[in-house]
Structure 1
Amino acid sequence: MLMGMLLLAAVCIPAAEARAGDYVEYMGTIDVGRPLGRVVADPTRPKVYGITGDGDVVFVDRTTMAVEKVSSTGRCLRDIDVDPAGDYLTVLDNITGEYWNQPPSVYILTYDLETQSPSAIVMAQAPMYQMALGRPNRFLGVGLNQWVSAYQVDATTGARLSSCGAGYYGSTEWGTQTFAATSDGTRLFRTELGISLIELKAFDTSTDTITAVASRGVGSYAAEPVFINSSDSSLYVGDIRVDPANIGVTLRMYPENIYAATGDDKLAFGVGGVYDPVWGTPLEDMPVHFSMMTIGEGDRYLYAFDPGSQQLHVMYVVPEPAALSLLALGGLVLLGRRRGCVSQNKQRRLAPARFG
């Protein structure tokens, strides 16, 4: 009788649920038709936002698998961020930059995501080239010259509140994100570029005085991507995972760079494969192989942008069944994780200045 119950349960389990452990399921492509330089997924809505170098803010809808809206700003857009509650989208416009030692003209635009319309604009009194949301009513940024500074800016007035040295050379690369902040805006991270020993640097932004608190070597010359997961439990820098509270602690190394991961530390995503974040074990091949990634909607939808075809690839992170109870065997559950080969191929609230 026991064998019969086991066979019955096995037959009744749907194919998707029969796969133990979280895994990635490919859903399809969205033709964006524009060369996006940065993408960010909405944490709560089925939306993805991107910017182009010629001033477009692009709103993509996952449910219709199409571009929903394009806001042409006529500005020189450099970076983008969304608050963890999904209320606001912020976009950095650096018209001149500090690379040419010219007076910077830096603006930060805010979009209300309920209406997808501009709700505020502020001129930042700091030559920022990369940007992230900080604590309530605060922006964080870094410059672009040979030796750069990190800044904290008032989101209402644009006033520079504080700055500190942030290492060598700011990144101008599209796609590779080398700058990230925790979901509460109290800690900031960046990697250097173009120097023989690239360092990961951590900054305390829990007060209005930004302070460099730690650094460690992570590579040489090439840009090392930086990604912090939605729960702030893991910071991924290139092919390593470190403790955000103490970047000197290496939690795991991987066969390749990691560009996105889930907040529950179950899956980490490289260009070639999907990995167990805790053990570094390869779980499966990635369905597509592009490094410009973003994850949203409770970490259940993963996106990868192909700059060549200008398509956004959509993937679903299928959750592991909580338990597959087998009828009278109440205590018996099917658990486990797959192992396989890998091919070589925030509760922050912004209070911005309002339009009059």
Structure 2
Amino acid sequence: MTNVTFTSVSKAYGSVTAIGDISLSVSSGAFTTILGPSGSGKTTMLSLIAGITAPSSGRIELGGQEITHVPAARRNVGLVFQSYALFPHMSIFDNIAFPLRVRHLPAPDISRRVGEALRLVRLTGFESRRPHQLSGGQQQRVALARAIVFKPDILLLDEPLAALDRKLREEVRSEIKALQRSLGITTIMVTHDQEEAMSLSDHIVLLANGRVEQIGTPDELYHRPKTRFAAGFLGLANFLEGRLEQPNAIRGTSGDFPCRTSAGRLGRQVCGLLRPEDIRADADSGFVRGTIREVVFLGEIARYIVDTDSSRSFTVNIAGARRRLAEGSAVWLSWDPECVWLLPEEGGAPTLH
């Protein structure tokens, strides 16, 4: 198993800085996702690890060995592209065998390794087919088999599920996770899809404007984000802004919002995060009174947009609601004060535990 380390790595294209002064270490054997909006620098980071591009400054190590200026062909890295990048004129066997032939392995070894890779991705018996004869999900599994057949030190996934429909994405996502767990291979995925990152990752590296916003487990980034950007990018968020007048309430312009915290920040302006699923909506009593402006049925949940009497809005998610509240209904909103997370005043240096 191999770790990846960035030390003060920057990459600029002319006057545009794609990533700036990033230092981090990706754990051996873990599934790490580089997550961020378009233009945040995530694809640049993947290209630097793969050797497709070189950094403007800094040092990159793979398994304790510096690879900053090692050519891509000399890095033992498996890469899966969003577009699969399969050879259309080749059979599935030949597609998977290609990196082994480039490495001049004997024919018996090639046949054995291709067979093992096909078994891992559950495509035994598809050896003679061409890519166009397979579904999108099957083509993605062929791309995975080709990326692991030569036993790479690290597996890189570039938006691997973006070309699939939602149902197929969920199926292939489960297969990728099971494959990574069974191989124990260090895996780094790039995506802008928060759901993919949350469901697949051991750790998430959240990027914004070419810099690391936060690093942590999915649970840490979702429930204990360090910044407002992190809180808003990882799921829907209600922000409770105001002054912490006492340890159990944020006093805002639209009323008091119950919370629970230490007395260390009393008298200071704070911003509390309250997730939509942590809010209850009742007809009789609560903390905040409002009117349901919009109802969105999402199958497993119903989402309500509630306008309060103080001219602010809350987003509320209620699971398993067979009988939905009607638009225009008056409701009281309440929550467990423990569910309110006060965003830190200053985010510390990003670390990966």
User: By percentage of residues, which structure has more helix?
Assistant: 2
TM-score, with structure 1 as normaliser:
0.26
The structure carrying a bigger strand percent of its residues is 1
The structure with the larger Rg is 2
